[in-house]
Structure 1
Amino acid sequence: MKTLRHWIGGLLLLATTACSGPGLLNSVDGITGGGSGVHRAAEGLSFGSHGQKLDVWVPDGTPPANGRPVLIFWYGGGWAEGKRQQYGFAARAFADEGFTVVLPDYRKVPDVRYPAFLEDGAQAVAWTRDHAADFGGDPNRIGVAGHSAGAYIAVMLALDPRWTEAAGVPDGTIKAGVGLSGPYDFYPFDQKRSIDAFAGTPDPESTQPINQVSAGDPPLLLVTSTDDTVVRPYNAYNLAKAMRAAGVPVELKDYPGLTHEEVAMALSTTFRGKGPVLSDSAAFLKARMP
């Protein structure tokens, strides 16, 4: 009973002090055993040219001789919100699946607009390629993933080589990607967040992942859900159609009954029963980064 009272008391404290939904979820996930068997191997490491920071999460124990597959995960927040510290639950989940996980921050609106967050994302890929081996990862097996605006970053970096090339990353470094509830086909801009993030771009159609598909792109898993009213499922459906037309390997998952937020929540231990988001994503990445 004493342990239960302390656990409940901890949840009540978190509920009154946590500043955001993701932050509360991350804290509860840690309390309830999320990521047991993994640890944060590095916190607040600097990368890039604008004072960005990142964390690295890894499984406990000695990595295999050929290293672990590596995953870079970008969180969402409409290109305007979010902190890497709030999304440890996602990094812990993938580390528990055997990945070396890099969890970077990026610059946000209103301080910047497109393409600053893509430039930061590309610099995170460059850092990961240079340093993955320091954390038991294989720099020849790098995948990308993200949720919502973070999925936009991950998918754009996979499909449009302009950004990674500018960061000095060789073509073909990104082997596969997972987009969770991401916006890929949202021009013309008619929502405040997209207007704030992309307005004034000289060539707005070039900002759309759906317009960057070409033969030779890495395979993607696109996840959406029937009850997503934030980023409508047609984004994933339209991009998957374009990829198939170009001969690019793509898988599409549409989880019934899940909202936009619940797709990310399902990565956590607490809400993993909502849907197989983690297992589907991990299986896809491992199959393409053996």
Structure 2
Amino acid sequence: MNKSYSSIIRFGGLLIFILFFYLKGFSQSQMIYKTVGKDSLFLELNLPDEQFKRPVPLLVFYFGGGWNTGTIEQFRPYAEHFTKRGLATALVDYRVYKRDGTTPFASLRDAKSAIRFLRKNADSLGIDANKIIASGGSAGGHLASATALIEGFNEFTDDLDISCKPNALVLFNPVFDNGPAGYGYDRIKEQYHQFSPLHNIKKGAPPTIILLGTKDHLVPVETARYFTMQMERLGSRCELHLYDGQKHGFFNYNRSLEYYQKTLEQADLFIQSLGWLEKQG
């Protein structure tokens, strides 16, 4: 697809979202976090009511879709919940193959750019720059974990003095193994050594929660257990929550209300444990 046409589609879709929420009486901010050539990349920032003391922690969502497709709508139900609970939330649009003809490496560069943009502008946005949580599902879970663990794949226009590393991770069936036995190796190939979070776990990784179904055909339970073990071995907190019999994508609101609610509750409890959310009555 022509890149300028892709930008028009993105911008037009965001205008529809703005109009919809304006008519419904909700306020949300759409902003450009990065421009690549003629492409403008957007994120949607949601801030809690003024009753919450600023600055507030931020939860950043990356949609799934194999770095091929997807939209910010995937995590809107989660974002609405956490914004009502007192967090700022950001739904990040990033480049994908079917829309932009790009590689997974471009998706990661975008994911890092989004956090740098939000951290750079934290004061003016009312965000706590030291309380940023990255989250996502499937390939979006890869991007979230990669912002924390992968050193390379930075946009050349980014200010590398601004850290892209989040302070916590909430991962929904993340494809964090991109090696020969993992997901996406046919596209990543030997660069998996630098691109795969499973192969780049290091001391100082942020506290992490992983939510995974036991029947996931893309993320074996053994892989998640190994990731958890390695994180803990190096001194980082890592919780693995398994959901019996559930398949890839089980947590999505439009897939199962039951498991959406269960994973939402577990993520909420995890963020409470960090001291960044009030306990619910």
Same-fold status (TM-score > 0.5): yes
Which TM-score applies when normalising by structure 1?
A: 0.75
Task: Call closer, same or farther: CA 1:243–1:39 in 2, change over 3 Å.
Answer: farther
Query: CA shift at 1:186, angstroms?
Result: 3.7
Q: Which residue of 1 aligns with 2:47?
A: 58
List runs of 5+ in structure 1 lacking aligned partners: 1-26, 31-37
Answering whether residue 206 of structure 2 is matched by residue 214 of structure 1, we say: no
Contact kept in structure 1, 2:141 and 2:172, CA below 8 Å: yes
Q: What is the alpha-carbon distance in structure 1 between the residues aligned to residue 96 and residue 181 of structure 2?
A: 18
TM-aligned CA deviation for residue 280 of structure 1: 1.5
One-letter amino acid matched to 2:33 = F
Match of 2:133 in 1: 143
Shift of 1:194: 4.7
Q: Contact 2:250/2:259 (CA < 8 Å) preserved in 1?
A: no
SS at match of 1:90: helix
Aligned residue in 1 for 2:262: 276
Counterpart of 1:61, as a letter, is E
| Structure 2 gaps, min length 5 | 1-16, 277-281
The answer as to 2:196 corresponding to 1:204 is no
Identify the residue that residue 195 of structure 1 maps to in structure 2. Answer: 186
Q: 1:128 corresponds to which residue?
A: 118
> Normalised by the size of structure 2, how large is the TM-score?
0.77
Size of the aligned set, in residue pairs, is 247
Match of 1:21 in 2: none
Does the 8 Å CA contact 1:42/1:56 hold for their aligned counterparts? yes
Taking only the aligned residue pairs, the percentage that are identical comes to 23
Q: Greater RCO between the two (CA within 8 Å, min separation 6)? A: 1
Q: Pairwise CA RMSD of aligned residues?
A: 2.9
Work out whether residues 28 and 47 of structure 2, in 8 Å CA contact, stay in contact via their aligned partners in 1. yes
Query: Contact conserved, 2:116 with 2:162, CA < 8 A, in 1?
Result: no
Given that 1:164 and 1:170 are in contact with CA atoms closer than 8 Å, whether structure 2 keeps it comes out as: no
Q: Which residue is 1:33 aligned to?
A: none
Q: Find the counterpart in structure 2 of residue 88 from structure 1.
A: 76
Deviations 1:78-137 (A, max 9, x none): 110111145422321221332100111111125111311111001000111123344432
Q: State the AA in 1 paired with 2:42.
A: K
Q: Secondary structure at the match of 2:59?
A: strand
Letter in 2 for 1:187: G
Q: What is the aligned partner in structure 1 of residue 149 from structure 2?
A: 159
Give the superposition deviation at 1:149: 0.5
Q: Shift of residue 175 of structure 1? A: 0.9
State the SS of the aligned residue for 2:104. coil
Match of 1:182 in 2: 174
